[in-house]
Structure 1
Amino acid sequence: MGITARGIGLLVAAVLLLGAGFRFAYPELLLLGAAAGAAVVIAVVIAAQRPRLVVRRQADPDRVARGEPATMTLTVRNAGRLRAASLLATDRCGDRVVPVPVLRLRPGADTTVSYDVPTSRRGVVPVGPLRVTRRDPLGLVVLARSYGDSVPVWVHPRIHPLSAVPTGAGRSLDGRIDAVPHGSITFDSLREYVVGDELRRVHWRTSARVGELMVRENVDTSLPRIVVLLDNRAVAHPDRVDGVAESFESACEAAASVLTAAFREDLPVVLLFVAAQGASGVPGESPGQGESAESAGGVDSGGPLDRLAAVSLTGAGTLASAVARLRRDRLGDTLVVLTGPGGREDLGHVGALGGAYRSVVVGVFGAVEPTPPGAAGLVVVDSADGAAFAAEWDGVRRW
């Protein structure tokens, strides 16, 4: 609640009039001071009355690619029973303020407002909450309250079709590509027995020691697996226009394109960030080691594409620490590293992964000069943007 300049002036006048009236025994001044003070009190009471509003909002759709249309539909219902509501309301949509007319809204009635959500930039656009402002008739007091929750609209990077998809260094034994990570070749771990498991997989020695049946869990190590490492360090993308690093936006588009192509071919794929993200919609981080999320169930089911929408540049993290984790864990057999012009100096760290990953491809975006051929013994794709990367990607032969 805030008192306007008019209200402050009237309140000061009330104090002065009451003081002068008592000091000099002028009943007229006392009457004027009491009236001014009563006006401020009544204004506070009127502004403090909380209207009963029910706010519902729906985004159509709530996940779009950059540049595609998205509409937010806002419904405001007067849940009060006695009086109509005439309010000043605004809705927050990213950095914009959208006026919402709430005029003479009768009890039980509702009003609906639709407006476009800006999708010209990749990111998570928070929409809401509705902010309702109440004023008294004299404009002495103003009070603002929030109604409803904030709903995010996920603006994904553009996806460019890729014809070629890495199939890894090995194939499954029957000659086809299989996305199921579990098989019957290499021992991986032990787990509790569940109904339907084959008894020949029971590990009797461990079962006798722990007192319950334990079975062997095997994996098929010949299955291909793609690892996408996105360099989200600020030093890797130094060039910015209006605060936006176009090289990083292009790298996000390339990552989304590779993820989508891998999912289309039913290939396991892992998305990693060089620098861990904070609590900005990107789940599960470990500082200095990046993050990972496998595209199980599709890239559009609140997974990697949402993380690409929420990822931002940060000053933390080093490429050396991310490479150390990749070398230690050996998360796949095909590694795709996407960086900017500032990351070319660190390609030597990536080149050291040649023994752990049979195929290593580096995409460099926004560089003024092309990367020297065979830098660090890698396949380097220099691209101006995501569309150029897709065209160059289909020409890569070293998988």
Structure 2
Amino acid sequence: MSEGGGEGAAEHSGLRAALGGLTTRGRSFLAAGVAAVACSYLLGQADLLRVGLLLAALPLVCVLVLHRSRYRVAGSRTLSPARVPATAESRVRLRMENVSRLPTDVLMLQDRVPYVLGPRPRFVLDRVEPGGRREVSYRVRADLRGRYPLGPLQLRLSDPFGMCELTRSFSTVDTLTVVPRVEPLPPVRLAGEAAGHGDGRRRSLALAGEDDLIPRGYRHGDDLRRVHWRSTARHGELMVRREEQPQKARCTVLLDTRAVAHPGAGPDSAFEWAVAGAASAAVHLLERGFSVRLLTDTGASVPGPDGAGGFPGGAESADAVGLLLDTLAAVDHSEAEGLSAAYDAVRAGDEGVLIAFFGDLDEEQAAVAGRIRQRCGAAVAFVLDGDAWTRGSGGTRVPSGQVPVAERVGLLRRAGWTALPVTPGDALADLWRAAADRAGAEPGRPVDASAPETVGGGRW
């Protein structure tokens, strides 16, 4: 990423703008000079007049000299890396090059950054010879995911006496993308995979080299290299291979982004845990060869490169992971009140495995979630206990009609979900393993909601 070869320090800004760049020292000298000239006229003191003219002329001369300075300076910015997980650091390198035939004076370089990334970095550059360059760097770190603009780069010029300062700005702005933290998950089998929606059926994973060889009769225009001689000999006519690409295993990750379902804010809030959990689950499934669709409570599927709102797994997962994490870096709360739109979106297609991250649910929305489960082969729900997060942050919760988390989990389990409660401090890897253990306990039918388990600090 570069800040282009803008000639910000060469722009002719006008004398009025230059006068506006007078510092406190310059304004004081100018005011003192004008006062001395006025007093010399009233008192008839010629010496005072000369002093006043000198005091008033010095800042004006500095303004004129700085205004006439025509440095040609090119600047660039490089982010390494440009995409980082939350709480990780990125190094920003700034490079300034004097492309004019004249040396520069002392320059002050400042880069504009959002306040969440820290204070604005400032650097003082010594005299830069013609054709010379200077490089400086600084680090930025964000605890909260998002897209943060860096720039524009500003160059401050000043005269040797400190009477005037002018700021020149470059135009290009780069973006630092802070994505959710991804937690490695254990490779376990989820319920329903043996029914053909996961890796229980080997053909559904589209492994490399597992093309199904189904011979058919030769048609005009078929490539002779596809002739299957063994079938030709058996059938007595020319047969060719009909290569069918194995079906991809499909998975939908449903993220509940409703503002009413997630209390609190900040990097340690329930909503950020849900976003990080959705990212970890999606990346894990992509790496296992699943085609993953990211769905929110609004019913909108995140656009994917396959044109159907999904991200392909397997060999293409590297690019898909980057696109998916970039999308989750900017996801925010929605104004939706319920999950009906998500139900309509799930009902429209074959979802395969469904992994959901729910916030607070009332009885009505728990019933909608139950209907969502009926459209999928396997369904695992992580239900966040918003009350526990609120108590952990020292806040108070306003009653909003939600039922306790144990009842929410029970309602989902009776509807066929493999549902687990989530409290602050729980690790998704432990919950992921517990979901597989619980789903495999009684395959094919819901597990008794009254059976207690303890994983990661939660009981269900």
Residue matched to 2:345: 326
Residue matched to 1:164: 188
Q: Does 2:406 correspond to 1:371? A: yes
Structure 1 residues 79 and 365, CA, compared in 2 at 3 Å: closer, same or farther?
farther
Residue matched to 2:356: 337
Residue matched to 1:295: 311
Residue matched to 1:80: 100
Q: Does 2:119 correspond to 1:96? A: yes
The structure showing larger relative contact order (alpha-carbon pairs under 8 Å, at least 6 residues apart) is 1
Structure 1 residues 81 and 197, CA, compared in 2 at 3 Å: closer, same or farther?
farther
Long gaps (5+) in structure 1: 185-195, 199-218, 276-287
Q: Does 2:415 correspond to 1:391? A: no
CA contact (8 A) 1:272 1:292 kept: no
TM-superposed CA distance for 1:392, in Å, is 1.6
Three-state SS of the structure 2 residue aligned to 1:371 is helix
Structure 1 residues 50 and 254, CA, compared in 2 at 3 Å: closer, same or farther?
farther
TM-superposed CA distance for 1:266, in Å, is 1.7
CA contact (8 A) 2:177 2:329 kept: yes
TM-superposed CA distance for 1:81, in Å, is 1.5
| 1:223-242 paired onto structure 2 within 5 Å | 223-240=248-265
More helix by share: 2
CA contact (8 A) 2:197 2:377 kept: no
Residue matched to 2:420: 381
CA contact (8 A) 1:91 1:100 kept: no
Aligned partner letter, 2:188: A
CA contact (8 A) 1:370 1:382 kept: yes
Q: Does 2:146 correspond to 1:147? A: no
Distance 2:344 2:51 in 1: 77
Distance 2:340 2:30 in 1: 63
Structure 1 residues 317 and 262, CA, compared in 2 at 3 Å: closer, same or farther?
same
Larger Rg: 2
Q: Does 2:135 correspond to 1:112? A: yes
Distance 1:83 1:222 in 2: 66
More strand by share: 1
TM-score, with length taken from structure 1? 0.72
Q: Does 2:83 correspond to 1:63? A: yes
Single out whichever of 155-164 and 291-300 deviates more from structure 2: 291-300
Aligned partner letter, 2:328: L
Residue matched to 1:208: none
Long gaps (5+) in structure 2: 1-19, 213-220, 224-243, 305-309, 389-403, 444-460
| 1:278-289 paired onto structure 2 within 5 Å | 289=300
2:293 corresponds to which of 263, 270, 275? 270
